[in-house]
Amino acid sequence: MSYLEKYNAWRNSPDIDEADRAELASIEGNDTEIKERFISELEFGTAGLRGILGVGTDRMNRYIVRKATKGFAEYIKKAGEDACRRGVVIAHDNRRYSVEFCLETAGVLAANGIKSFIFDSLRPTPELSFAVRELGAFGGVMITASHNPPEYNGYKLYDERGCQLVPELNDQVVAEIAKIEDPLSVKAISREEAGDLITLLGNEIDEKYYAAVASISVTPDVKKNIKIVYSPQHGTGNVPVREVLSRFGYNVIPVEEQCYPNTEFENTKNPNPETDAAYELSYEYAKKTDADIIITTDPDCDRLGVAVKQDGEYKRMTGNQSAAVLLKYILERKAEDGTLPKNGVMFNTIVTSDIGDCICKEYGIETEKTLTGFKFIGDKVYRHELAGDKVFVFGYEESYGCLIAPFVRDKDAVQASLMLCESASYYHEQGKTLIDVLEEIYEKHGFYLDALDNFAFKGIDGGEKIAALVNGLRNDPPKSAAGMAVLEMEDYESEAMIAKGYLKSNVLRFILEDGSWIAVRPSGTEPKCKFYFSVRGKNRAEAEAKLPEIKKAFERV
């Protein structure tokens, strides 16, 4: 069926909502817009669904959500009656249609005889992961597009371990979704019709989650003598982060304009903690109140951004840097009080800085690498717990996400916020800032300069451009960069990397002779290709001098 035929089929279907029919009528004659919406289908990838909101096969809408949920329902039913009875926990963030998509998901599950649990309002991604395990559910669904612009929304699936579906399980769901030819034919029933199949959750899960977060503290009696500016970027972190920090007695100054849920993120230029724009209002608050640190969480509260007052200015820390300081603090304190496990293990990814590995080696902790995606870290946590051979001490990604304790199996910015504030207070008592501690780490282990470049390729041919870029580097890799030889190319689609225990993945990683590396990875959720740089140097100046030359050798865009 051509894209025009699909457009007309949707527009004339008796199963489509009248408002959606009107939206389709509004683009009549606009061939470019129709083609963009119907030339392909929104792909259910390794991170679920994420796309621009709108009516069409390649947009996020109720029909695509219903189709995905129907596939998930068939997967659950194949697991048996007990899986249907245990059911699915569903949570949502503050985005456009997040509430509606939550109810659509519950309605489709109920129509298939599967129980679901929905929260009475928005909740963070880590609490969804926690709730799945706490309630003994068979799975979970999180309605969120994380830090994407307002026109996006998304849909993530979790297994009974509270972990995002690993590829083996995800492929089974995708196979069920593929059997559904017409998403408009998938039925959902109302909460009233569902009866006992839909259970509303209140604050009982919140309280259990807060108690679990409180348990991660390694210096609970530290003096709470710092001022903290906090922004939830209009998202789900506002209640849990402020509640947990308040219970510990921290002096938190909220960025009021960004504390209420808002679908348009109207008071933040960018809700992504990886960008300078996310901190603009926080900087104003910090300067007015002479705050010591700024923390901000992304809309679904699984990532934490940090800025520290240093020499009269507020300096942002990268995800690699803040995680390195947290890791040092946790290992240092546990070593001092004798609770550091002899068989401890830390997890990070192949695109995460090696500075954390150096810190772990100092304390006798093993490091294990995974592919990008916290589901791989969550899976490793589970497997080691099952085997009883290693004890989790920390897990993190460069993209501002970390996990302190594994009662959650995903990134957890509520945990990270508490530990970050605790470590800042602890070092403040020693006359140090978190930046000072970071510099001590560099002095001991060498300087690591991290950089990330995103190249967006919009439109129908965007995927082709990304494929050509990656395959060009794969088939004709640079021989040198910044005067250094490229010693090795790790191709994660190759048999050699699969033999090392990695799942096949379209990622390239190049190792230079000084230990610096470059990783190239097409995004699994957005039309982007990401270039990760970890540049080593004796000091900052040396590393900064190398970076432009290294970029020149690899960024063939």
In a domain, 518, yes or no: yes
Below-50 pLDDT ranges, the chain? none
Domain boundaries, position 419 = 320-445
Do residues 426 and 494 share a domain? no
- The two three-digit tokens of residue 78, written as one number: 């194949």
Do residues 110 and 192 share a domain? yes
Separation CA 152–CA 281 (nearest Å): 23
In a domain, 125, yes or no: yes
Do residues 300 and 377 share a domain? no
Burial of 432 (0-12, 13-18, 19+ CB in 10 A): middle
In a domain, 9, yes or no: no
Decide which of 394, 417, 445 is a domain's last residue: 445
Of 274, 291, 107, residue with least CA distance to 188? 107
CATH code for the domain in which residue 503 is found: 3.30.310.50
Alpha carbon dihedral 376, 162, 157, 100, in 10-degree steps, equals -140
Do residues 201 and 249 share a domain? no
Instruction: Centre a 10 Å sphere on the Cβ of residue 15 and count the other Cβ atoms it contains.
Output: 12
Separation CA 465–CA 185 (nearest Å): 35
In a domain, 469, yes or no: yes
In a domain, 31, yes or no: no
Q: How many domains does the chain have?
A: 4
- The two three-digit tokens of residue 510, written as one number: 């190049």
Condensed to tens digits (0 to 9), the pLDDT of residues 348-399 reads 999 999 999 999 999 999 999 999 999 999 999 999 999 999 999 999 999 9
Do residues 66 and 119 share a domain? yes
Separation CA 54–CA 527 (nearest Å): 17
Do residues 47 and 194 share a domain? yes
In a domain, 27, yes or no: no
Sole residue written with tokens 């840097």: 321
CATH code for the domain in which residue 271 is found: 3.40.120.10
Q: Please confirm, yes or no, whether 146 is among the known catalytic residues.
A: yes
Do residues 330 and 436 share a domain? yes
Decide which of 445, 472, 499 is a domain's last residue: 445
Do residues 57 and 103 share a domain? yes
Using the 8-state DSSP alphabet, how is residue 369 labeled? E
Decide which of 314, 344, 364 is a domain's last residue: 314
Do residues 424 and 546 share a domain? no
In a domain, 16, yes or no: no
Question: Residue 122 has what pLDDT?
Answer: 98
Do residues 175 and 127 share a domain? yes
Do residues 464 and 362 share a domain? no
Question: Residue 496 has what pLDDT?
Answer: 95
Separation CA 530–CA 508 (nearest Å): 11
In a domain, 248, yes or no: yes
Separation CA 6–CA 12 (nearest Å): 10
Sole residue written with tokens 């621009």: 52
Do residues 228 and 184 share a domain? no
Q: Which of 146, 231, 417, 505 is catalytic?
A: 146
Separation CA 225–CA 222 (nearest Å): 9
Nearby residues of 169 by Cβ (< 8 Å), 6 or more positions away: 159
